[in-house]
């Protein structure tokens, strides 16, 4: 390997040829500030915050300039600091500076840099402000170009990672803005509502649609019986909003906080994850035995479902007909639970706490309900729940652990791993093995489908007592498109496919607490949050969905058996072919 020797701030550094100054500085433990940079995704030198003195006549953008032999780089000269400050002042000169009430205040990368470089609200470049309308028509995402810094991270992740590409820069110079084609709202564009643009936005130019006031209003309404359910991935990230280290499961504290907010019942969506496995594994076995459409593809991720409906409608027959877990749970809260408790289902208000902005879109789909009654009334994200807890004056970190309510709160280890890529596949295999073979599965860990797989499709070929099952796991819709193209071409032949719409799965959903790119390089939330879920799985006394006693009871008392007529009425759905740009 050809190595390049250089000096950065007096420190001798040796790195492979082709390394940028920014990466070389990181290797030497030297921090260079960035704003537009997103490793391997958006390395374009747009913001100029990373400028350094590399010995040339002009300052160099460290994120795009490669090192050269004998280069002497200075990252902290007066000229460098002044250039960075000027760049920040120019950005702020065309920025909505209502920081006190901004949802990203204290967790805004632009704000942090302004504090670091002593930039004031009023600066030497005050002048005209570009006028923008706030796009808040989408049920999932609010787009506020008044707060946009034109870093183009959202453009890169939407196109390169998700293979959607519905936003991009238009116009030039001072008038440049990030828009959908023809100036459309995100609601009218073929956006899949995944929220990965939110996850990478350094400011509040992209945020989730805030539905917290709807929940507060429901809690204050004496005529409403308010039931909350929480997704597996929420417990692995919520604590980060309260200073608890990333990768810590805060299940018990979360339950206690929800009780103190006066929800009438606190249920676990993990219960419905177990239920999903019963329905989905049975559906898979039926397809395999009866010549059904294969490969069967999971349907838990609404961003992925909308992507398939829009960009790969020919695969709709391959999708499992199962609703996602929180929609299943909502349907049963307003039927099974309502009957058991003698409550009028019209008075029940179901709140789902999800890591996912696409769930906001999903709960409004007409298929997700019984007649005029929706399965789930409102979805809030992990970040929204954190704001509600803070507004309620609850000291989250000091809370004791609580337990979910029974009837629909018991779950297994198979359910909690739904939040990580490969988790649905592994949970389904744990049950499918015993259904197909009639034997007890001693080792429930299907490690072949775990992990990020170096951002490539994970594959495994499993022998279920003589039945060969080829499986594949993809996370991000960009990866899913590559997988589906291989299936279409005949290059790959699978029995079962899991797709999660977000990179890393639900743990990295668009509604999770924001983690800056610099922090992500040190502590990858996809890995640490997933580990929290797998640790919880390992600590469960029951780790197979079909062994959950509450699941057994609901089939005995209400549903009959998996894939029964009643189960199909409440727990299964249909799909819609959607238009995309031509």
Active site residues: 280, 283, 300, 320, 359, 362, 367, 506
Contact yes or no for 49/88 (Cβ under 8 A): yes
Q: Output the CA torsion 463→467→468→470 (10° steps).
A: -100
DSSP string, 334-354: IIIIHHHHT--GGGEEEEEEE
Choose among 461, 229, 463: nearest CA to 331. Answer: 229
533 three-class SS: helix
Phi (first) and psi of residue 188, to 5 degrees: -100, -10
Phi (first) and psi of residue 379, to 5 degrees: -115, 130
447 three-class SS: helix
Contact yes or no for 464/288 (Cβ under 8 A): no
526 torsion bin: left (phi>0), alpha (psi -120 to 50), beta (else) = alpha
∠ Cα 243 249 254 (to 5°): 75
Q: How far apart are CA 540 and CA 118, in angstroms?
A: 50
Bond preceding residue 295 cis, omega within 30 of 0? yes
DSSP string, 395-425: -GGGPPP----SSS----HHHHGGGSTTHHH
Contact yes or no for 81/17 (Cβ under 8 A): no
Residues 6+ apart with CB under 8 A from 381: 208, 353, 354, 355, 356, 357, 509, 510, 511, 512
For 484, the enclosing helix (H) or strand (E) is helix 477-489
Phi (first) and psi of residue 208, to 5 degrees: -75, 155
Choose among 482, 228, 474: nearest CA to 351. Answer: 228
């Amino acid at each position: 390997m050809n190595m390049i020797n250089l000096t950065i701030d007096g420190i001798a550094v040796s790195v492979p040829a082709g390394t940028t100054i920014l990466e070389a500085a990181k290797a030497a433990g030297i921090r260079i500030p960035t704003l537009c940079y997103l490793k391997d995704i958006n390395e374009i030198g747009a913001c100029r915050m990373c400028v350094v003195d590399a010995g040339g006549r002009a300052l160099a953008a460290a994120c795009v300039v490669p090192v050269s032999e004998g280069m002497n780089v200075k990252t902290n000269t007066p000229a460098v600091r002044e250039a960075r400050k000027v760049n920040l002042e120019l950005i702020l000169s065309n920025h909505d500076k209502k920081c006190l009430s901004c949802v990203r205040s204290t967790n805004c990368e632009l704000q942090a840099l302004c504090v670091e470089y002593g930039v004031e609200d009023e600066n030497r470049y005050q002048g005209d402000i570009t006028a923008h309308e706030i796009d808040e028509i989408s049920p999932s995402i609010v787009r506020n170009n008044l707060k946009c810094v034109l870093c183009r991270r959202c453009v890169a992740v939407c196109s390169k990672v998700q293979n959607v590409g519905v936003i991009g820069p238009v116009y030039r110079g001072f008038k440049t803005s990030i828009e959908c084609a023809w100036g459309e709202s995100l609601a009218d564009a073929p956006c899949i509502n995944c929220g990965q643009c939110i996850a990478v936005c350094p400011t509040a130019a992209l945020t989730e649609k805030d539905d917290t006031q709807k929940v507060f209003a429901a809690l204050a309404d004496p005529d409403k019986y308010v039931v909350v359910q929480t997704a597996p991935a929420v417990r692995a990230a919520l604590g980060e909003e309260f200073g608890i280290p990333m990768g810590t499961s805060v299940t018990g504290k979360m339950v206690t906080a929800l009780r103190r907010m006066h929800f009438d019942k606190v249920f676990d969506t993990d219960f419905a994850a177990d239920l999903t496995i019963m329905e989905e594994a049975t559906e898979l076995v039926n397809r395999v035995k009866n010549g059904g459409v294969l490969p069967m593809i999971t349907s838990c991720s609404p961003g992925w479902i909308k992507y398939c409906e829009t960009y790969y409608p020919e695969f709709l027959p391959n999708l499992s007909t199962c609703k996602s877990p929180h929609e299943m749970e909502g349907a049963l809260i307003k039927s099974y639970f309502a009957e058991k408790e003698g409550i009028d289902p019209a008075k029940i208000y179901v709140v789902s706490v999800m890591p996912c902005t696409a769930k906001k879109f999903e709960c409004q789909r007409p298929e997700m309900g019984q007649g005029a009654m929706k399965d789930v009334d409102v979805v809030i994200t992990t970040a929204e729940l954190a704001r509600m807890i803070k507004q309620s004056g609850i000291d989250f970190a000091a809370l004791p652990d609580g337990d979910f309510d029974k009837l629909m709160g018991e779950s297994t280890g198979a359910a909690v791993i739904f939040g990580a890529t490969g988790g649905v596949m592994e949970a389904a295999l744990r049950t499918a093995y015993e259904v197909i073979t009639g034997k007890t599965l001693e080792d429930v860990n299907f490690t072949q489908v775990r992990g990020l797989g170096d951002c490539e499709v994970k594959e495994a070929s499993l022998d279920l007592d003589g039945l060969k099952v080829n499986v594949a796991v993809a996370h991000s819709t960009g990866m899913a498109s590559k997988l589906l193209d291989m299936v279409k071409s005949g290059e790959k032949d699978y029995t079962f496919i899991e797709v999660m719409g977000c990179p890393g799965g639900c743990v990295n959903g668009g509604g999770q607490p924001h983690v800056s790119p610099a922090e992500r390089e040190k502590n990858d939330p996809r890995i640490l949050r997933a580990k929290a879920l797998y640790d919880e799985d390992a600590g469960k006394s029951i780790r197979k969905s079909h062994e959950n006693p509450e699941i057994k009871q609901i089939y005995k008392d209400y549903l009959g058996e998996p894939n029964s007529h009643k189960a199909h009425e409440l727990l299964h759905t249909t799909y819609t072919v959607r238009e995309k740009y031509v």
